[in-house]
């Protein structure tokens, strides 16, 4: 009975798990994610080019805005990684933050449903687990690279600190970090879009507004959380655990 009534509701029109598949060699890729990712990338590129095309001494307009964003990202990286090492990581952390932020907000602000796809629907790129896993794995690679570059093989010392008993947990951490990063972002964005979608299907007007505003807030926070955690992991990998570091 329940099942039937659910089927009767227009809720069934929510297209979760439907994708616009593109064939790339042996791979089936989610086309709608690529489309929105390219759009987000294009937006960021246009903003960056527009901001740097006509650089003035006293920043105006978009240059001012992008400089403010850069300052924000730089402070974020500086706070998490530390004054000494943060500089080379500003581009990475900044790219993560800006991409995720714009992607999330594009999902919350752009009426993607105006465009009808053969299958699936356009949404925020971070709405797809593949995007967030890719970003999280990039973060993993980045902090391993940072750790090895800074401390060489001494990086492995952090697995048996402060005591080798914690070795399994330390190893487990390397798996849980990307897992939690990717699922946190994916879950938040997908949940937000689903809630909005369901509410829109139930009550099309005005009722979804608070949730949508909340979604905007969540999206921004999630971008910030992701970038902050990425920077924190990188900083942690470089500095090692306190006691051992002090002993040197």
Partner 1 sequence: MIIMGTFYWLATEAAMGEMTESAGGFGLNFDILEANLINLSIVIALVVYFGRGFLGKILSERQSAIATAIQEAEQRKRKAAEELAIEQQKLAQSQQEAQRIRDAAAVSAKAAKEEILARVAQEIQRLRETASQDTTSSQERAILELRQQVAAQAIKQVEAELSTKLGNNQTAQQQLVDRSIALLER
Binding site for partner 1 (CB under 8 A): 57-60, 64-65, 67-68, 108-111, 113-119, 196, 200, 204-206, 208-209, 212-213, 216
CA angle 232, 236, 239 (to 5 degrees): 135
**Least distance (Å) from partner 1 to the CB of residue 65?**
6
Cα–Cα distance for residue pair 180/144, rounded to 1 Å: 17
**Least distance (Å) from partner 1 to the CB of residue 136?**
28
Q: Is the peptide bond before 32 cis (omega within 30 degrees of 0)?
A: no
Closest CB to partner 1 among residues 208, 235: 208
Closest to 93 (Cα-Cα) out of 107, 108, 81: 81
**Least distance (Å) from partner 1 to the CB of residue 119?**
6
Q: Which residues lie closer than 8 Å to 80 by C-beta, 6 or more apart?
A: 86, 93, 228, 231, 232, 234, 235
Closest CB to partner 1 among residues 111, 243: 111
Phi, psi of 53, rounded to the nearest 5 degrees: -70, -40
**Least distance (Å) from partner 1 to the CB of residue 68?**
6
Closest CB to partner 1 among residues 111, 152: 111
Closest CB to partner 1 among residues 43, 160: 43
The answer to whether residues 100 and 208 touch, using CB atoms and an 8 Å cutoff, is no
**Least distance (Å) from partner 1 to the CB of residue 64?**
5
**Least distance (Å) from partner 1 to the CB of residue 114?**
5
Handedness of CA 166, 171, 177, 179 (dihedral sign): negative
Closest CB to partner 1 among residues 191, 209: 209
Closest CB to partner 1 among residues 32, 37: 32
Map tokens 């939690």 to a residue: 180
Map tokens 């946190």 to a residue: 184
The answer to whether residues 211 and 123 touch, using CB atoms and an 8 Å cutoff, is no
């Amino acid at each position: 009975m329940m099942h039937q009534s659910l089927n009767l509701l227009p809720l069934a029109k929510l297209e979760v798990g439907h994708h616009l598949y593109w064939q790339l060699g042996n791979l089936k890729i989610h086309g709608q994610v690529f489309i929105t990712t390219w759009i987000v990338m294009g937006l960021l590129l246009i903003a960056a080019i527009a901001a740097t095309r006509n650089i003035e001494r006293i920043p105006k307009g978009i240059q001012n805005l992008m400089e403010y964003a850069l300052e924000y990202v730089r402070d974020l990286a500086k706070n998490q990684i530390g004054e000494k090492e943060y500089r080379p990581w500003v581009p990475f952390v900044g790219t993560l933050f800006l991409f995720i932020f714009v992607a999330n907000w594009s999902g919350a602000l752009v009426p993607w449903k105006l465009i009808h796809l053969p299958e699936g629907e356009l949404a925020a790129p971070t709405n797809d687990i593949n995007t967030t896993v890719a970003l999280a794995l990039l973060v993993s690679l980045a902090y391993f690279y940072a750790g090895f570059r800074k401390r060489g093989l001494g990086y492995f010392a952090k697995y048996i600190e402060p005591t080798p008993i914690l070795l399994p947990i330390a190893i487990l951490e390397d798996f849980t970090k990307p897992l939690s990063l990717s699922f946190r972002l994916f879950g938040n964005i997908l949940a937000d879009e689903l809630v909005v979608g369901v509410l829109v299907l139930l009550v099309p007007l005005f009722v979804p507004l608070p949730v949508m505003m909340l979604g905007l807030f969540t999206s921004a926070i999630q971008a910030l959380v992701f970038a902050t955690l990425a920077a924190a992991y990188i900083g942690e990998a470089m500095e090692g655990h306190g006691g051992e570091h002090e002993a040197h």
